[in-house]
C-alpha cells in the first residue's frame, strides 16, 4: 500500500496551524499526562482554565472553542507547566501561539487591544505621564531617555503587528 | 591463471520463458563468444537431469568456468554451486543469472528487445566468469569455551545452556555475589514466584534431573562441570578474533578464602564497622565483612575494602575458626581464552534525584520500586513489613507514581516496559498481606502487554488498588505531621487531588547498567541512542551484534521481564554455540585484499570498515600498510570504495570484473531507447529488481542490471567508466539510507554519486544522467518506476556526446 | 568599575520611583555603573507576546541591539523585562533560522542582532560581580531581626532552560542575598507559586485569589515583609493587598519591598531618599524595626 498524503480534516488543519506558528511547534508531543494541570495555579482555582484540556481541544481540532473562548486568556504565564512537562511541550509558548491565532482572527479581549494600541502609539505599554516625568529631578532621578518610537513602528509594521490592530477596529 | 573454458547452461524455466526469449538465438549468440566451449539447453539446470549435466560436464574436464541462466538464482545458485564443488571445481568459478525475473517477465511485451538484453546479460556473465579466480575456504580455530559477562538471571541461564552443550563456561560478575537486579526484586511477575533463587543456585543432587526444572535454587547450577564462576571480577581487556579471544579479567580481592569459609557468621558479630546496607536500600546496616542475604552464591563472605580497617583491627581474623580470612589478598589478573563472548550486564534504576520536585533523596519516605521490593521480601531488612523509612512505623497509605524519568524527554524518552507490572506486583503483594492497606497508583498509561499481564491488572483492581490517571506535579511534605502530599490531577474525574501518603513509591526508568559505556569500548560494541547495547537487527538477530563472536542477552539491550529475559538468554546461548560447535570456523575468502605496494599509510580503510576487519601493520620504521582479517571481513567492499589509491580489492568483485560486466551489458542494445546501467547492491537493490520481475512489473529493456556486494564498493571513476562503456545513464540502487546492510555503504555511495555529478558537470555531461535510488526488497514497484523515469529523462536529454568519442 | 546598560522598562519609571531610586543608589554605592541608553522601548512582555510572538521577539531583539552597539551587557530590574529580553537573547543565539528571520525584520529599523551580549537580572549581577562576601562587607546597617519572605516571581526563574538565573526547583540566590544583608529568610508554603500579577486587568477575581494565597502563606510563616524582584509582583501584592482586603475582608498588613530597597537600606542609604511613601502598604514598621 502506498502511503498517501494526509487529508485536510478539521483536526489536522488546526493542530498543523498551531505547529506552524512560532511557539506552537511542540504541541503534538503532548500525551495528556496532566502534569501541567496540577502545576497550574489558575487551574487549581477555577474550572475555566486547564492547560491539559486546552491542548487536548486544540489537538482534536476544536478551533472555534479554543480561540473564541476565554480559557486561553486566563493563563497567568507562570511557565510552571513548561518547566515540569515530561514531553518538553512548550505549553506556555503554545498558549501564546493560540492567543496569537485568536488575535489574528479578531477574538481580542479589550485589555489586550489597549496594550497593543499603547505600544504602537507610545512605544510603551504603560506611558510615563509628563506629570510623573517632571517629578524626577526632585526625587533625584536622572532624566528619561527618549523612546525609540520610530524604530519600533518600523519593526511592528514589518511584522504586521499594526495590521492586527486595524483588524479589531474593523470587526464589530 | 589458466585459460578460461566456459560452459554455458541455458534453462528456459520449464519452457515458461521460451515464448518470450528466443533461446535458439541466445544459444547461437553464446556459442560465438570467445572462451565458450560448451553450450547446453534444458528446462531446468538446478536439479535432476539438468544438474547432472553440469556435473558431468565439469567432471569431463572440458570446462573450468560455469555460467548458468536459471530461475530464482538465490535458491538455485546454492544447489548448483554445491554440485559443482562436489564435481571437483572450485565453487566460486560459477556465475548464475536470472533471465526470468530480470528479463523475460519485465519485458514480456517486447520479446525481441528482451532477447537482445538477454544476450547482453549472458555476455556479461561470461566475461565475468572468465575473470573469476578460485576462492579458498579458510579454517580458523574455535575454542569451545565462552565468556559470559554478567551473573544475573540472563547470564546464569546462558551459562547453563552452554555448559549443557559441553562448553567450558566462564561467568564473570563484577559484584561479590551472583544474582544481579532480579534477585533483589523478591518475586517475579506474573507468577509471583521467587526471584531470590537466582542468586542462590545450589545443588540438590537427588533431584537434579527430575524436579528442578522450575527452580534455580535446586538446579545444581554450581556443580556444573567446567563452569568457572568469577565474582568480584571485571573484564578489562579483550584481544583476538571470534573463536579465539584472549580476555583479561581483573579479580578484586574478596579477602576471604572461598574454599575455607564455612559461613559460621562469627566474623560479622565482632566486626566494629557498620555501614548502611546498599543492597537492602539502606534500610539496615551491615558490617565491613558481609553477605547480602543468607542464600547467595558463592556462599562466602566478602570484605568491603572501602570501609574495613584491615590490620588496624583484624578482629574477624581472630575469631574465624578455619582461618579463611586473608587480609593480604591482592587483585589478580586472569587471562581467559574463549571462543564467544556474551554480554549480559542488565540494567539499573534511574537516579530519581534529578527530578527535584519529587524530593527523592531528600524526603526519606519517597522510595523507589527496588527499595520497596526489599521491604516486601520476607528475607529483607524489615522482615516483610512495609514501613516509613523516616520513623519505621508501618506505612498504611501508599501512593505509587509511574513513569519517573521514563517517557520523559528530559531524561529517558522510552517506556521502560516493566514498571507498570512491577508496581502492580508490589501493590497486589502488599494488599494480599495487608488487605487494609490504602494503595493508589498514579499513571499516564497502564501497560500490561505480556501474557497474563492483563489478568494481573484486573486482580489488582479487584483487590481494591486505586488508580488515578494523572502524573503528579510534585510531592510536598506537611511540616507538622510529616505526611507526604502528592499533588495530582485526576484527568478522568477532572479533579485536583492532594493525596496524603505515608510512603510514596516511584517507578523509575530502567537505564543501562553502570559500566556499560566502558565495556562497550573494550569490546568495540555500539550503543543505541539510549545507551543500551545495540543488537545487530531487532527483527532477525536480537541477540547478535555487528561483531561475530560477541552476543547480547537480557536487559543489556533494553529493559525486559523475566520470561523475555529467559528467551533472550537461550537465544544468545545457541548463537554463541553455533559459532563454535565444530571446533573451527570455516569461512570462504571472498574478502578484501590489500596490494601492499600501493597502500599509502592513509588510515581511511581501517576507520571505515564497519567490522573492524582492517588493521594497520608496520612494515618499516615509518611505513605501515593495511591488512585485512579474512575472519572478520564481511566482503562488502566499502574499504575498496574508500581507498584513494585503489590499493585494496575484493577478491570476488575485482574492478576488472566489474568493468568487463559493464562493457558487456552495454554492448548490445536492441531497443530504440538509451542504454541505462543499474548498479544494484546485492542486499536490497538487487532483490528489489527480483521482486519487480516476480510481480511482472514492466519497465523498458534498455535498463541493464549489474550486481555489486554493496554500493559502498563503487569508486567515482567507475561511474565515469560506465558512461565510457556506453551507458547513457547510470542508476545506483542501494538500501535505504538508514538501513544499509553493511552499515555505512549506502551513505558512502551517496557521497560519491554527488561528487561524480560535480565532475560530470565539469566534463559537460548533464549530472542528472547519474542518480541514486534507495529501496527495499518489497519495493519492486519503486525499481520499475525508477527505471521508467530514468529512461524518459534520458530520452529528453538526447544522446550523450562524449568528448574525444568513444 | 563594571558598567551595564540599564533596562528600565515601562512600569518602573511610570509607577514605582522607589524601585528606581533604590536600585540606582544601591548599585552605584556598590560600584556598578548604570548607563541609560537612548531609544529603548518597551521590552515586549507577555501582554505584547499575546498579540504576536514574533513581534515581541523582534522588539526585544531591537533593545538588545542597542546594548550590543554600546558594547554593554544589559541589566534588568523587572522580571518581565528580564524574561522577555533573556528569552529573546537565548533563542536568537541558538536558532540560526529564527535569527535570520528576525534580522530581516530588524533591518527595517537599521539594526542587526549579533548575539554578543548578555542579559542579566540584577540579583545575578550582585552575586557574580559583587559577590556575597563583598556585599556583606558593605552592609553598614544590618537588617537584623527582620524576617523576610523571599519571593522570586515566576519570570526570574522560568523557563529555566532559557533564563538560567538559578535552579528553578531549589533556588537560593535571593535567600542568600537577603541573608547577606543580615536579615533572616523565612520558608513558607508554595514559595515559587505565581502571585497572579499578569491576570490583573483580565480577571481581577482570579488574580486576587492567588495574591491572597501568597499573603496568607507568608503571614503564616511569620514574615515581617515580602521581598520581590518585579514591579508586577509588587503591584499584585501591594495594591492587591488593599483589594484583597475589600474582597475577602482579610487584613494582612504585610509590607512588600523590592529587594533593592532592602539592599539600599542595609547599605546605609537614608530611607527618606527612597520615596517609600509611594508604597500603598506602609513600610514604616519595617524602617522602625531595622533602625
CA B153 to CA B344: how far, in whole Å? 9
Interface contact flag, B444 A87, Cβ < 8 Å: no
Query: Residue B277's closest CA among B263, B293, B301?
Result: B293
CB contact under 8 A, C209 and A45: yes
Q: Which residues of A touch C158 (CB under 8 A)?
A: 78-80, 82-83
CA of A56, closest CA in chain B: separation in Å?
A: 11
Q: In terms of CA atoms, which chain B residue is nearest residue A34?
A: B470
Contact yes or no for A115 and C168 at CB 8 A: no
pLDDT tens, position by position, A18-32: 999 999 999 999 999
* pLDDT of res. B213: 59
Determine the 3-state secondary structure of B183 from DSSP.
Answer: helix
Burial tier of A137 (Cβ tally within 10 Å: 0-12, 13-18, 19+): exposed
Residue B351 touches chain A, beta carbons under 8 Å: no
Name the CA radius of gyration of chain C, rounded. Answer: 19
pLDDT, tens digit, for every residue of A21-80? 999 999 999 999 999 999 999 999 999 999 999 999 999 999 999 999 999 999 999 999
Most B CBs within 10 A among A25, A28, A34, A80, hence the mutation to make, goes to A34
Kindly state the average pLDDT of the residues A163-171: 59
Residue with cell 527595517: C108
Q: For residue C155, list chain A residues with Cβ-Cβ distance below 8 A.
A: 77, 79
- C239 vs A contacts (CB less than 8 Å): none
Q: What is the average pLDDT score of chain B? A: 92
Q: What is the pLDDT of residues B413-472, one digit of tens each?
A: 999 999 999 999 999 999 999 999 999 999 999 999 998 999 999 999 999 999 999 999
Summarize pLDDT for B512-543 with one digit per residue, the tens: 999 999 999 999 999 999 999 999 998 999 99
Which candidate from A38, A80, A86 shows the least CB-CB separation from B488?
A: A38
Contacts of B494 in chain A (CB under 8 A): 47, 50
What residues have CB less than 8 Å from B636, skipping those under 6 apart?
B610, B709, B710, B712, B713, B742, B745
Classify B132 in phi/psi space as left (phi over 0), alpha (psi -120 to 50) or beta: beta
Q: Which residue of A has its CA nearest to C193?
A: A41
Who contacts B28 (Cβ-Cβ below 8 Å, separation ≥6)? none
User: What is the SS3 string spanning C152-172?
Assistant: CCHHHHCCHHHHCCCCCCCCC
Percent of chain C having pLDDT more than 70?
100
Confidence band, pLDDT 50/70/90 cuts, at residue B203: very low
**Quick one: pLDDT at residue A9?**
45
Cell numbers 571513476 correspond to B717
- What is the least distance, in Å, from the CA of A78 to any CA of chain B? 15
CA distance B471 to chain A (A): 5
Residues of chain C found within 8 Å of residue A136, distances taken between Cβ atoms: 17
Euclidean distance between CA atoms A115 and B676, whole angstroms? 67
- On whether any CB of chain A is under 8 Å from the CB of B785, the answer is no
| CA neighbor of B634 nearest in space, from B559, B772, B729, B741 | B741
Of A111, A145, A151, the CB nearest to C36: A145
Chain Cα centroid distance, residue B806: 48
- Residues in chain C closer than 8 A to A135 (CB atoms): 17
Sequence-ordered strand ranges (E) for B350-420? 366-368, 397-404
Within 8 A of A29 by CB-CB distance, chain B residues are: 409
| CA distance readout (Å), B110 to B107, B118, B705 | 5, 12, 18
Q: Is residue B464 classed as helix, strand or coil in its secondary structure?
A: coil
**Residues above pLDDT 70, as percent of chain B:** 96
Chain C closest-CA separation from residue A153 CA (Å): 9
**Residue B573: helix, strand or coil by DSSP?**
helix
Residue with cell 532483490: B687
Chain A nearest-CA residue for C199: A76
pLDDT averaged over consecutive 10-residue blocks of chain C (291 residues)?
92 94 96 95 91 94 97 96 96 96 96 96 95 95 95 95 94 96 95 94 94 96 96 95 94 95 95 93 91 76
Which parts of B107-157 are beta strand (E)? 137-141, 145-149
Q: Which residue has better confidence, B14 or B732?
A: B732
* C169/B357 Cβ within 8 A: yes
CA distance C240 to chain A (A): 16
pLDDT number for residue B205: 47
Give me the domains of chain C, ranges plus CATH numbers.
Answer: 2-121 (1.20.1050.140), 140-290 (3.40.50.11810)
Q: Do A80 and C209 lie within an 8 Å CB cutoff?
A: no
Confidence of residue A3 (pLDDT cuts 50, 70, 90): low
Contact B312, B321 (CB under 8 A): no
Residues of A whose CB is below 8 A from B357 = 84
Contacts of C170 in chain B (CB under 8 A): 356
Predicted confidence at residue B192, as pLDDT, reads 82
Q: Which residues of chain B make contact with C169, given a CB cutoff of 8 A?
A: 356-357
**Cell digits of residue B364:** 526519606
C86 vs C98: CA distance, rounded Å: 15
Beta carbons of A145 and C39 less than 8 Å apart: yes
Q: Is C170's Cβ below 8 Å from some Cβ in B?
A: yes
- pLDDT recorded at residue B204: 46
Q: C171: number of CA atoms within 13 Å, CB side? A: 26
Chain A residue with CA closest to C194: the answer is: A78
pLDDT confidence of B806, banded at 50, 70, 90?
A: very low
Cβ contact B261:B289 at 8 Å: no
Residue B164's pLDDT is what?
83
Give the Å distances, CA to CA, from B213 to B207, B210, B221, B369, B487.
10, 7, 11, 29, 47
- pLDDT at A25 (0 to 100): 95
What residues pair up with B205 in beta bridges, in sequence order? none
User: Between β-strands B484-490 and B474-477, what pairing exists: parallel, antiparallel or unpaired?
Assistant: antiparallel
* pLDDT tens digits, one per residue of C58-79: 999 999 999 999 999 999 999 9
Contact: A112, C51; criterion CB under 8 Å:
yes
Q: What pLDDT is recorded for position B200?
A: 53
Residue A117 has pLDDT above 50, yes or no: yes
Selection from B413, B479, B421 nearest residue B447 by Cα = B421
**Contact list, A44 vs chain B (CB under 8 Å):** 496
A109/C contact by beta carbon, under 8 A: yes
Mutate to test the interface with C, among B353, B356, B361, B478 (most CBs of C within 10 A): B356
- The contacts of residue B39 (CB under 8 Å, 6+ apart) are B7, B8, B9, B10, B27, B30, B31
Q: Do C13 and A157 touch (CB under 8 A)?
A: no
Cβ contact A39–B471 (<8 Å): no
Give residue-wise pLDDT tens across range B708-751.
999 999 999 999 999 999 999 999 999 999 889 999 999 999 99
Q: Which chains touch C (3 or more CB pairs under 8 A)?
A: A, B
Structure confidence by residue, pLDDT tens digits, B46-71 = 999 999 999 999 999 999 999 999 98
Are the C-beta atoms of residues B728 and B767 closer than 8 Å to each other? Answer: no
**Over 90: is that where the pLDDT of A126 sits?**
no
Q: Are B666 and B725 in contact (CB under 8 A)?
A: yes
Question: Residue C194: its chain A contacts at CB < 8 A?
Answer: 41, 76, 78, 80
Q: How far is B350 from chain A (nearest CA, A)?
A: 15
CA distances from B658 to B64, B65, B401, B557, B721 (A): 20, 17, 62, 40, 10
CB B410 within 8 A of CB B513: no
Q: What's residue B754's pLDDT?
A: 96
CB distance B96 to B76 below 8 Å: yes
Q: Which pLDDT tens digit goes with each residue over C41-63?
A: 999 988 889 999 999 999 999 99
Out of A35, A47, A87, name the one closest to residue B473 (CB): A35
> Over the Cα atoms of chain B, what is R_g?
33
What number of residues does chain C have?
291
CA distance B394 to chain A (A): 29
Residue matched to cell numbers 552499515 = B743
Top-confidence residue, A159 or B620: A159
Q: Which residues pair with B733 in a beta bridge?
A: B680, B773
C167 inside 8 A of chain B by CB: yes
Interface probe, candidates C54, C55, C61, C70, chain A, greatest A C-beta count within 10 A: C55
Cell numbers 501508599: residue? B398
Report the pLDDT value the prediction gives residue B207, as an integer from 0 to 100.
45
Position B612 pLDDT exceeds 70: yes
Give me the domains of chain B, ranges plus CATH numbers.
1-135 (3.40.50), 145-250+340-346+513-580 (3.50.50.60), 253-330 (3.30.70), 347-511 (3.50.50.60), 589-636 (no CATH), 653-806 (3.40.50)
Give pLDDT, residue B379.
Answer: 80
Cα nearest neighbour of A127 on chain C: C14
Element (H, E) at B475: strand B474-477
What letter would DSSP give residue B534? P
| Nearest chain C CA: its distance from B352 CA (Å) | 14
Chain B residues within an 8 Å CB radius of A37:
470, 489, 491, 496
Mean pLDDT of chain C: 95
Please name which of A132, A133, A129 lies closest in space to residue A118, comparing C-alpha atoms: A129
User: Which residues of chain C have a CB within 8 Å of the CB of A97?
Assistant: 53
Interface residue A155 vs chain C (CB under 8 A): yes
Contact residues, chain A, for B488 at CB < 8 Å: 34, 38
Domains plus CATH for chain A?
10-104 (1.10.1060.10), 110-170 (no CATH)
How far does C186 lie from chain B, in Å, by closest CA?
A: 14
Of C57, C108, C207, the CB nearest to A154: C108
CA distance B61 to C245: 112
Whether residue B709 lies within 8 A of chain A, CB to CB, comes out as: no
**Can you tell me the distance from the alpha carbon of B334 to that of B564, in angstroms, rounded to the nearest whole number?**
33
Q: How many CB pairs under 8 A join B and C?
A: 4
Amino acid at each position: 500500500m502506498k502511503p498517501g498524503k494526509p487529508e485536510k480534516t478539521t483536526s489536522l488543519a488546526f493542530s498543523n496551524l498551531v505547529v506552524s506558528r512560532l511557539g506552537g511547534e511542540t504541541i503534538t508531543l503532548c500525551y495528556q499526562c496532566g502534569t501541567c494541570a496540577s502545576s497550574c495555579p489558575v487551574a487549581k482555582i477555577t474550572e475555566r482554565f486547564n492547560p491539559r484540556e486546552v491542548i487536548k481541544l486544540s489537538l482534536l481540532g476544536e478551533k472555534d472553542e479554543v480561540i473564541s473562548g476565554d480559557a486561553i486568556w486566563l493563563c497567568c504565564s507562570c511557565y510552571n507547566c513548561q518547566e515540569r512537562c515530561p514531553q518538553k511541550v512548550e505549553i506556555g509558548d503554545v498558549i501564546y501561539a493560540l492567543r496569537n491565532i485568536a488575535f489574528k482572527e479578531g477574538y481580542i479581549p479589550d485589555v489586550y487591544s489597549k496594550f497593543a494600541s499603547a505600544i504602537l502609539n507610545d512605544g510603551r505599554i504603560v506611558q510615563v505621564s509628563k506629570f510623573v516625568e517632571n517629578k524626577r529631578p526632585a526625587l533625584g532621578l536622572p532624566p528619561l531617555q527618549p523612546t525609540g518610537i520610530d524604530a519600533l513602528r518600523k519593526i511592528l509594521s514589518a511584522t504586521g503587528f499594526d495590521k492586527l490592530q486595524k483588524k479589531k477596529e474593523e470587526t464589530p | 591463471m589458466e585459460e578460461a573454458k566456459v560452459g554455458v547452461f541455458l534453462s528456459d524455466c520449464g519452457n515458461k520463458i521460451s515464448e518470450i526469449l528466443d533461446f535458439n538465438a541466445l544459444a547461437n549468440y553464446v556459442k560465438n563468444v570467445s572462451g565458450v566451449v560448451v553450450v547446453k539447453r534444458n528446462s531446468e539446470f538446478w536439479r535432476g537431469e539438468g544438474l547432472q549435466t553440469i556435473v558431468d560436464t565439469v567432471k569431463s574436464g572440458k570446462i573450468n568456468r560455469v555460467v548458468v541462466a536459471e530461475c530464482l538464482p538465490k535458491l538455485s545458485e546454492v544447489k548448483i554451486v554445491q554440485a559443482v564443488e562436489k564435481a571437483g571445481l572450485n565453487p566460486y568459478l560459477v556465475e548464475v543469472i536470472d533471465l526470468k525475473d530480470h528479463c523475460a517477465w519485465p519485458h514480456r511485451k517486447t520479446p525481441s528487445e528482451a532477447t537482445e538484453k538477454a544476450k547482453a546479460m549472458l555476455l556479461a556473465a561470461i566475461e565475468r566468469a572468465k575473470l573469476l579466480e578460485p576462492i579458498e575456504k579458510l579454517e580458523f580455530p574455535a575454542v569451545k569455551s565462552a565468556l559470559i559477562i554478567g551473573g544475573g538471571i540472563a547470564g546464569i541461564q546462558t551459562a547453563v545452556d552452554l555448559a549443557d552443550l559441553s562448553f567450558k563456561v566462564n561467568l564473570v560478575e563484577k559484584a561479590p555475589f551472583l544474582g544481579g537486579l532480579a534477585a533483589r526484586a523478591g518475586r517475579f511477575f506474573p507468577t509471583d514466584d521467587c526471584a531470590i533463587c537466582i542468586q542462590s543456585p545450589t545443588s540438590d543432587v537427588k533431584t537434579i534431573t527430575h524436579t528442578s526444572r522450575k527452580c534455580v535454587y535446586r538446579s545444581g547450577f554450581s556443580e556444573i562441570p567446567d563452569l568457572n564462576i568469577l565474582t568480584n571480577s571485571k573484564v578489562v581487556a579483550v584481544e583476538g578474533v571470534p573463536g579465539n579471544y584472549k580476555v583479561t579479567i581483573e579479580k578484586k580481592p574478596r579477602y576471604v578464602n572461598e574454599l575455607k569459609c564455612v559461613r559460621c557468621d562469627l566474623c560479622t558479630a565482632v566486626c566494629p564497622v557498620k555501614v548502611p546496607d546498599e543492597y537492602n536500600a539502606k534500610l539496615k546496616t551491615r558490617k565491613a565483612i558481609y553477605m547480602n542475604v543468607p542464600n547467595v552464591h558463592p556462599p562466602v563472605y566478602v570484605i568491603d575494602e572501602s570501609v574495613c580497617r584491615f590490620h588496624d583491627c583484624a578482629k574477624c581474623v581472630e575469631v574465624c575458626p578455619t582461618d579463611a580470612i586473608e587480609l593480604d589478598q591482592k587483585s589478580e589478573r586472569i587471562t581467559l581464552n574463549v571462543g564467544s563472548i556474551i554480554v549480559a550486564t542488565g540494567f539499573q534504576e534511574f537516579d530519581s534525584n534529578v527530578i527535584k520536585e519529587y524530593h527523592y533523596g531528600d524526603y526519606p519516605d519517597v522510595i523507589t520500586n527496588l527499595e520497596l521490593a526489599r521491604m516486601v521480601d520476607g528475607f529483607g531488612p524489615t522482615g516483610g513489613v512495609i514501613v516509613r523509612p523516616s520513623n519505621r512505623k508501618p506505612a498504611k497509605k501508599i501512593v505509587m507514581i509511574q513513569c519517573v524519568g521514563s517517557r520523559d524527554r528530559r531524561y529517558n524518552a522510552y517506556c521502560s516496559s516493566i514498571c507498570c507490572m512491577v508496581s502492580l506486583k508490589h501493590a497486589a503483594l502488599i494488599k494480599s498481606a495487608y488487605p487494609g492497606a490504602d494503595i493508589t497508583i498514579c499513571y499516564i498509561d497502564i501497560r500490561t502487554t505480556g501474557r497474563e499481564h492483563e489478568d494481573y491488572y484486573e486482580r489488582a483492581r479487584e483487590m481494591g488498588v486505586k488508580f488515578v490517571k494523572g502524573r503528579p506535579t510534585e510531592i510536598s511534605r506537611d511540616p507538622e505531621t510529616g505526611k507526604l502530599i502528592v499533588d495530582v490531577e485526576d484527568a478522568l474525574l477532572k479533579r485536583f487531588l492532594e493525596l496524603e501518603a505515608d510512603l510514596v513509591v516511584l517507578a523509575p526508568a530502567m537505564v543501562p547498567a553502570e559500566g556499560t559505556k566502558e565495556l562497550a569500548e573494550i569490546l568495540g560494541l555500539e550503543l543505541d541512542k539510549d545507551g543500551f547495547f545495540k543488537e545487530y537487527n531487532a527483527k532477525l538477530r536480537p541477540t547478535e551484534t555487528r561483531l561475530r563472536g560477541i552476543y547480547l542477552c537480557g536487559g543489556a539491550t533494553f529493559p525486559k521481564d523475566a520470561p523475555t529475559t529467559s528467551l533472550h538468554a537461550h537465544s544468545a546461548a545457541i548463537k554463541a554455540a553455533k559459532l563454535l560447535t565444530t571446533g573451527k570456523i570455516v569461512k570462504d575468502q571472498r574478502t578484501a585484499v590489500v596490494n601492499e605496494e600501493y597502500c599509502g599509510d592513509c588510515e581511511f580503510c581501517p576507520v571505515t570498515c564497519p567490522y573492524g576487519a582492517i588493521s594497520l601493520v608496520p612494515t618499516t620504521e615509518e611505513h605501515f600498510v593495511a591488512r585485512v582479517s579474512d575472519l572478520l571481513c564481511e566482503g562488502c567492499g566499502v574499504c575498496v570504495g574508500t581507498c584513494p589509491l585503489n590499493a585494496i580489492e575484493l577478491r570476488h568483485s575485482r574492478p576488472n570484473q566489474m568493468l568487463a560486466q559493464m562493457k558487456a551489458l552495454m554492448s548490445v542494445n536492441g531497443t530504440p531507447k538509451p542504454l541505462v546501467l543499474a548498479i544494484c547492491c546485492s542486499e536490497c537493490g538487487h532483490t528489489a529488481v527480483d521482486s519487480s520481475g516476480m510481480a511482472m512489473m514492466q519497465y523498458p529493456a534498455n535498463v541493464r542490471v549489474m550486481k555489486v556486494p554493496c554500493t559502498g564498493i563503487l569508486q567515482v571513476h567507475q561511474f565515469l567508466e560506465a558512461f565510457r562503456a556506453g551507458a547513457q545513464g547510470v542508476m545506483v540502487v542501494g538500501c535505504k539510507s538508514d538501513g544499509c546492510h553493511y552499515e555505512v555503504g549506502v551513505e558512502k555511495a551517496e557521497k560519491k554519486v554527488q561528487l561524480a555529478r560535480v565532475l560530470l558537470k565539469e566534463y559537460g555531461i548533464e549530472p542528472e544522467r547519474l542518480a541514486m535510488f534507495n529501496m527495499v526488497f518489497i519495493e519492486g514497484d519503486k525499481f520499475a518506476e525508477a527505471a521508467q523515469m530514468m529512461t524518459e529523462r534520458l530520452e529528453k536529454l538526447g544522446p550523450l556526446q562524449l568528448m574525444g568519442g568513444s | 568599575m563594571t558598567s551595564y546598560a540599564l533596562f528600565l522598562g515601562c512600569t518602573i519609571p511610570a509607577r514605582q520611583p522607589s524601585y528606581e531610586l533604590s536600585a540606582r543608589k544601591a548599585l552605584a554605592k556598590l560600584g556598578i555603573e548604570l548607563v541609560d541608553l537612548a531609544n529603548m522601548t518597551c521590552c515586549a512582555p507577555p501582554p505584547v507576546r499575546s498579540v504576536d510572538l514574533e513581534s515581541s521577539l523582534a522588539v526585544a531583539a531591537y533593545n538588545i541591539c542597542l546594548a550590543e552597539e554600546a558594547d554593554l551587557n544589559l541589566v534588568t530590574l523587572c522580571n518581565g523585562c528580564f524574561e522577555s529580553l533573556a528569552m529573546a537573547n537565548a533563542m536568537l543565539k541558538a536558532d540560526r533560522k529564527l535569527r535570520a528571520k528576525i534580522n530581516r525584520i530588524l533591518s527595517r529599523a537599521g539594526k542587526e542582532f549579533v548575539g554578543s551580549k548578555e542579559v542579566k537580572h540584577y540579583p545575578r549581577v550582585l552575586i557574580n560581580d559583587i559577590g556575597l562576601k563583598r556585599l556583606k562587607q558593605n552592609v553598614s546597617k544590618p537588617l537584623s531581626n527582620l524576617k523576610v519572605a523571599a519571593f522570586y516571581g515566576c519570570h526570574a526563574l522560568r523557563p529555566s532552560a532559557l533564563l538560567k538565573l538559578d535552579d528553578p526547583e531549589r533556588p537560593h540566590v535571593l535567600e542568600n542575598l537577603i541573608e547577606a544583608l543580615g536579615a533572616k529568610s523565612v520558608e513558607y508554603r508554595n514559595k515559587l507559586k505565581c502571585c497572579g500579577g499578569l491576570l490583573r486587568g483580565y480577571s481581577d477575581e482570579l488574580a486576587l485569589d492567588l495574591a491572597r494565597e501568597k499573603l496568607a502563606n507568608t503571614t503564616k510563616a511569620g514574615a515581617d515583609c515580602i521581598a520581590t524582584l518585579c514591579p508586577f509582583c509588587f503591584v499584585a501584592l501591594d495594591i492587591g493587598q488593599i483589594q484583597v482586603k475589600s474582597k475577602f475582608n482579610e487584613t494582612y498588613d504585610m509590607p512588600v519591598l523590592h529587594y533593592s530597597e532592602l539592599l539600599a537600606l542595609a547599605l546605609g542609604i537614608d530611607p527618606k531618599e527612597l520615596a517609600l511613601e509611594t508604597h500603598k502598604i506602609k513600610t514604616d514598621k519595617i524602617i522602625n524595626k531595622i533602625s
